[in-house]
Structure 1
Amino acid sequence: MTLSLFFSSISCFLLLLFSLHLFFAKRGNRLLNRLLALLFLSRFGQILITLFIHSDHQTLFPFVYQLFTPLWYITPACFYLYVISFIQRNQQPLKFQWLHFMPAIFAVIHIFPWHLSNPVNWNLIAIQIAENKQLFITERTGLFSPVFYYLGRPVLVIVYLSVTWYAVLKSKILDKKTEPVRRDWLLLFLRIGTFFYLAGFLSLAFWNIDKPYINTLFMIINGMIVLIIMVFVLHHPRLFYGYLFVSVNLNPGQKHGDTEAPAQINQAKKMSLLPEQLLKYSISMKEVMEIKQPYLLENFQIVDLAGELNIPVHHCSFVLNNLIGKNFRDWINEYRIRSFMEQYPLKSERMTIESVAHECGFKSTATFYNAFKKETGLMPTAYFSQKKVS
């Protein structure tokens, strides 16, 4: 049991860390950040309750349990809304989507401290949770009958899990044509979420079996999987900095998404590069951009370019700053603007300026207009009007 509590404690801390960071992140897609934060926070609550039950602080268990109850009724909807918003690139929830949070309102009514004639048997509830039956508690936990919990939550999980996968398959976002980073992240998110939701039903297989080691094994596996997921994401920086630590700047004074090393590091590394190496790196970098066109991927960063060429990131940054004369952001936007100038005249009759810009790798409209004016000195409409006249 000590080992299982150890893994659970670490995973609990990591989940709280990520949920707080995402909830208060000021950059990235705030809707996606906060939906993901709620999912992490819900999982944190489940593990925290298990820790309280197996510790000397069981008196806190009822309070923590009731505190997280409303969250458990909206996380299936959060899972669905995250995927839908990710696919559609929504920045804010649509009006009708707020209806998905109705179960949480009923959950708040359920846990409100009404003056009930029959007190809640928290000891029995703790025993049922200890038996790994969090989805199927048969004791009354509030105003409504136990059916509200042991039938309501499983139904929500199954329904939202089904409609989420249906929406993903219907959208075709998993096709090879989708940006690799977006596809990889969505697949990772779907697999992890589906696994943990379905794992909640495993207790049915052992419902009538009284084997304590099974519960301990579940806790160890649960904690280890969370740790493995965290290690995996840490070793895939495009996922880590793109969707989890969305507001992290890798270097002081550096713009978000621009992972270049600071000038001090570049100068310190300057003498380790021969002129032949610099020229070779410069040619290779331009070949990658012109042949493979990675600038069409909105989340493409200098770390990805360095990985493609199998050279250090600070070498890429040094070549850009000293040979090409641009930072990574301006350099990649130059390629995107060139692509836009080629594509827009061909697609202007059926697509808007913003749509073509998005296809050319720009994540936001503001970034595109700023980059276009920086490259041409004009806004797109004025530029193409001038072209027609000439």
Structure 2
Amino acid sequence: MAVWLFVIGIHLTGYFLFYKGYWEIYPNLTGVTAPLPFLYGPFLYLYVLYSIKSESRLRKIDYLHFAPTLMSYSLMSHFFFFYSANEKVQVYQGTIDDYNGTLATIMLVGFIISGITYTILAYRNLVKREKVVKENFSDTTRINLKWLRYTIIGIGLFFIVGTIVSVLREVIGFQFPFNADILFYSVLVGFIVFVGYSGIRQQDLFTSTNIKERELVKTESEYKKSSLKVEVANNKHQELLDFMEREKPYLNNKLTISELAEELSLSTNHLSQIINQYEEVNFHDFINKYRVEEFILKAQRDTSFSLLGIAYDSGFNSKSTFNTVFKKFKSLTPSQYISKLKK
């Protein structure tokens, strides 16, 4: 993330110098930051990928994502960087058409394709990982990935708006009554603030838990060819329900599927299979449904505590999660539901 934001900062600095007219004073600096937008998509994708993985080092294949940027610098070295200072000024003034006519168009189209493609890839990857999280964790307060979703949507809108502005201005010839670039880059500054703040607050998905990535239940498809026999599954399902009622493991607000599977002498994949097939919900919803019912029972018995206090005592770990989960199962807020029961 630090490298990504640094690159964006360099790009913004380049535009600021151009906007202030420094390119006329120092023409040899012009175009240096032009290929940097090609890094936005790869950085977005890789940041999403490695924010939710336990590995910290890039794989060799990951470096291929930076090839378009290197190719752009290579082309610019041939068509632009070795121009004289006077020729570079003429390029920006439109006297020489090589750069503005051909290379700039190629880079613009490539930037648009790269941005949209990587945004889609990042979003698809995030959706998959969100499913994995709910298959393994009963509480997602510290590993909530919503902010990454907002980040992807934000950068996607950034690319879309940039595409529309570029097409209107460069292809159609529409003249905006305001400086569209200033608005465009101002939005980018706001994006930097949001990503920086949210990234700092991000809890690594695995360091705050006692579960390792290789132990995670991935998706439903991984147990479709399971070796778990029907008779064993039936018995283990009943054992699971009895254990939930007797031991109330859901009161542990950091309960994971690996911990519950260990108690039942099951593999995490087999336990996930049983919950999905017999209860027709993921692990997250299965556990929180018990917490909701526990909350209702305690709220009816003891009115001396606040609803939030009872929620914490029932296994919930945050007010927002409690309210969201409760409304999902009961279609009412906790206070509305309890008030309705008292009537």
Compute the TM-score of the two structures, normalised by the length of structure 2: 0.48
Select the structure with the greater relative contact order (CA < 8 A; seq sep ≥ 6). Answer: 2
- Structure number with larger C-alpha Rg: 2
